[in-house]
Amino acid sequence: SVGIGGRPDLSGHVTLDACIMDSNSNCGSVACLEGIKHPISVARRVMDQTPHVMLVGQGAKDFALSCGFKHVKSPIKEVKKEWREWKRGNKEKFKKPTINSENHDTIGMLALDANGNLSGACTTSGWGYKLPGRVGDSPIIGAGLFVDNEIGAACATGMGEAVIRISGSHTVIELMRQGYTPQEACEEAVSRIISKHKNLDGLQVGFLALDKKGNYGAYSVFNGFNFALKTVNKSSLIDAGYNRRW
């Protein structure tokens, strides 16, 4: 459910969110961007070529076009077909996402380079059948992604509203600054989310963190969150620990 082929909002529009941050705390972000295939590349241009951090909606689209990105037809026909079928069967104002298939919907990437510098990116089409105009955590620096080159990098996936409520990725980094390992910091951030929500029904969130030495950690509210690890010697897919089984 990520990207231009991802699930649309309630009105059938696929709107994309993305952000990027480097080791010098440069950052760029786009939200509610329609009809552009690689929103993360537009976020990179915002970071590299403007004095701003975040562009949204039509302004983000106009900026992308001015940078030479091509407009692509959106939604693609498969998405339109699925949305029409969904619309016929659902009269609700919005749809609560199904854990792991509909709200585990974000690509977060953390990198440590050969010089020991950290960076990260986060991109999504967001909550399937969201209200038009809804923006989640993914394009918000400090929520969906945060990098502090002195400490570490963190990103989040899952229900963005819950991540924003605790400034999720920034919280993970600040916990690491206090001495938590990446794993302990992800677990503590998940605990805070759990403690702030009476009803955990449908509330999946996962955090991923990496420190300056290459130590990493990941943890989620419910089972079903996994992440890919790539080092010089190793490529693996790892199941994250979790607090609850659903």
106 carries an active-site annotation: yes
DSSP bridge pairs for 143: none
Q: How many CB atoms lie within 10 A of CB 113?
A: 9
Nearer to ligand GLY, 24 or 98 (CB): 98
Tell the smallest beta-carbon distance from residue 220 to ligand GLY (Å).
12
9 binds ligand GLY (CB under 6 A): no
Tell the smallest beta-carbon distance from residue 160 to ligand GLY (Å).
2
Nearer to ligand GLY, 23 or 128 (CB): 128
Which candidate, 224, 227, 146, places its Cα nearest to that of 185? Answer: 146
Tell the smallest beta-carbon distance from residue 30 to ligand GLY (Å).
13
Contact set for ligand GLY, span 160-189 (CB under 6 A)? 160
Stretch that binds ligand GLY, among 36-44, 136-144, 177-185, 188-196 (CB under 6 A): 136-144
Contact set for ligand GLY, span 199-218 (CB under 6 A)? none
Nearer to ligand GLY, 7 or 44 (CB): 7
Cα distances from 160 to residues 60, 81, 143, 166, 213, in angstroms, run: 21, 26, 8, 10, 28
Contact set for ligand GLY, span 93-122 (CB under 6 A)? 105-106
CA angle 243, 121, 130 (to 5 degrees): 65
Is the distance from CB of 175 to CB of 146 less than 8 angstroms? no
Is the distance from CB of 140 to CB of 152 less than 8 angstroms? no
Tell the smallest beta-carbon distance from residue 6 to ligand GLY (Å).
10
Nearer to ligand GLY, 136 or 224 (CB): 136
| Distance between CA atoms of residues 27 and 40, nearest Å | 11
Stretch that binds ligand GLY, among 76-84, 135-143, 206-214, 233-241 (CB under 6 A): 135-143
Q: What is the DSSP letter of 31?
A: E
136 binds ligand GLY (CB under 6 A): yes
In the structure, how many helices (H) and strands (E) does the chain have? 6, 12
Q: How many CB atoms lie within 10 A of CB 69?
A: 19
Instruction: Determine which one of 106, 123, 124, 157 is catalytic.
Output: 106
158 binds ligand GLY (CB under 6 A): yes
| Distance between CA atoms of residues 128 and 141, nearest Å | 22
Give me 228's structure tokens.
């890919």
Q: Which residues bind ligand GLY (CB under 6 A)?
A: 105-106, 124, 126-127, 136-138, 157-160
Active site residue ranges: 106
